């Protein structure tokens, strides 16, 4: 549901696409937490390291109480947050109430700003 890999191993705010899919298809969601993937293959690491990875599955989450409300933003957010809480409970990760993509964009912008401030060698 985060839409991208975590930049630092923490759990970030989920995007509502998972809620749209679940509500429109009228199916339960089985929460899943993958633990150890950040250590096994951190961002930028081409090949994975040999590290233990654990996958935990939770009980199915059922959302029929929202039938007919599939287009309501507040409902989509509530369903997504319920799913993310289930993932958090399974994983034990620290939760960050921001989108991971926003954090990555900020970090990229800060890196670009630092690069622009570096002295340049003349091209001659």
79-96 per-position pLDDT tens digit:
999 999 999 999 999 999
Domain that holds residue 36: 11-117
Confidence of residue 19 (pLDDT cuts 50, 70, 90): very high
Q: State the pLDDT at residue 113.
A: 57
Q: State the pLDDT at residue 66.
A: 97
Nearest Cα neighbor of 1 from 73, 85, 84, 59 is: 84
Q: Is residue 3 part of a domain?
A: no
First to last CA, the chain: 50
Q: Is residue 123 part of a domain?
A: no
Q: Is residue 89 part of a domain?
A: yes
Q: Containing H/E element for 95?
A: strand 95-96
* pTM of the predicted model as reported, rounded to 2 decimal places: 0.80
Instruction: Report how far residue 42's alpha carbon sits from residue 49's, in angstroms, rounded to the nearest whole number.
Output: 9
Q: State the pLDDT at residue 10.
A: 92
């Amino acid at each position: 549901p985060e839409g991208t890999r975590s930049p630092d191993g923490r759990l970030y705010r989920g995007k509502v696409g998972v809620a749209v899919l679940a509500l429109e298809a009228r199916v339960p969601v089985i929460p899943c937490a993958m633990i150890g993937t950040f250590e096994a293959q951190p961002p930028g690491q081409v090949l994975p390291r040999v590290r233990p990875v654990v996958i935990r599955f939770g009980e199915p989450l059922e959302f029929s109480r929202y039938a007919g409300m599939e287009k309501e933003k507040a409902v989509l957010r509530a369903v997504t947050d319920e799913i993310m809480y289930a993932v958090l409970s399974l994983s034990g990760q620290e939760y960050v109430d921001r989108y991971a993509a926003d954090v990555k964009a900020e970090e990229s912008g800060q890196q670009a700003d630092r690069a622009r401030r570096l002295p340049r060698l003349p091209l001659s």
